[in-house]
Amino acid sequence: MMASLWRDALRGQHTAVIANADDPMVVWAARAGTDVTWVASGQRWQDDSWVCPECGSRIERGSGDWWCTGCELRRPTPQWSLDGEAVVGPTGVRHALSLQLPGRVNRANAATALAIATRFGADVTDAVRRLGKVTSIAGRYATVERDRRTIRLLLAKNPAGWLEAFDMAEHAPTLLAINARDPDGLDTSWLYDVDFSPLRGRRVLIAGDRAMDLAVRLEVNGVAFEHVTSFDRALAAVPPGRLEVIANYTAFQDIRAELDRVN
């Protein structure tokens, strides 16, 4: 539905669009525009695009490419892509990144940001340097010292975000906090779309309004956990050192408030 709305909004518009070449739904929507810059941002979460939105045929993937088996929809050639720790621009020039934000997803975000900045006439070298100064975004990825614990905050709002968060989190005690208030969506069935097994072998604590829903999911997923009733109790339960916190939207805001609205 979203892809279809975007497609309708972009059809025939002379509007600059920067879009992810690796996501079939995004490509299908964005190619309705007349001025599209493609970025190879990756697509870790593929469960929303197994079939072609144009013709309903199966989408095949391989070697970083994807294509529809029934029509001409396929991955466009990206102008911007990632090569390890570097972003490669439209002229083939490599721009080495030194980001403080963790994970492949943030390197992909950096590639997208550079494509946008360039579109607005910014100097790429200057933009790369300034990207390296970003340490957190409204508290996301922030690291906070409290009671000899180093707490890192990771926000995950959807299954794709949870997979990325597991990648970024260090092998350390991890607090998962889940709410289901209006901004989060009231339905927690999405928990079953996320494979929590990467957390096996880590010490896992759970909290939040809907911790019991998460408890059931982790039980089914074979992930051992402890339930704590507040962020402070989670902090007290782990030894000095690293604590990774992965929370959905309002749970994240609650914890951020307890840490004095860290930015």
Nearest approach, Cβ of 54 to Zn ion (angstroms)? 4
Nearest approach, Cβ of 75 to Zn ion (angstroms)? 13
Q: Which CB sits closer to Zn ion, 2 or 55? A: 55
Nearest approach, Cβ of 10 to Zn ion (angstroms)? 19
- Which positions touch Zn ion (CB under 5 A)? 52, 54-55, 57, 68, 70-71, 73
Nearest approach, Cβ of 24 to Zn ion (angstroms)? 9
Q: Which CB sits closer to Zn ion, 68 or 151? A: 68
List, in sequence order, every residue forming a beta bridge with 252; answer none if it has no partner: none
Nearest approach, Cβ of 44 to Zn ion (angstroms)? 22
Nearest approach, Cβ of 74 to Zn ion (angstroms)? 9
Q: Which CB sits closer to Zn ion, 54 or 226? A: 54
Q: Which CB sits closer to Zn ion, 74 or 242? A: 74
Select the residue whose beta carbon is closest to Zn ion and give its number: 52
Q: Nearest to residue 79, comparing CAs of 36, 25, 30?
A: 36
Q: Which CB sits closer to Zn ion, 68 or 205? A: 68
Q: Which CB sits closer to Zn ion, 73 or 206? A: 73
Would you call 202 exposed, middle or buried from its count of C-beta atoms within 10 A (0-12, 13-18, 19+)? middle
Q: Nearest to residue 40, comparing CAs of 54, 57, 27?
A: 27
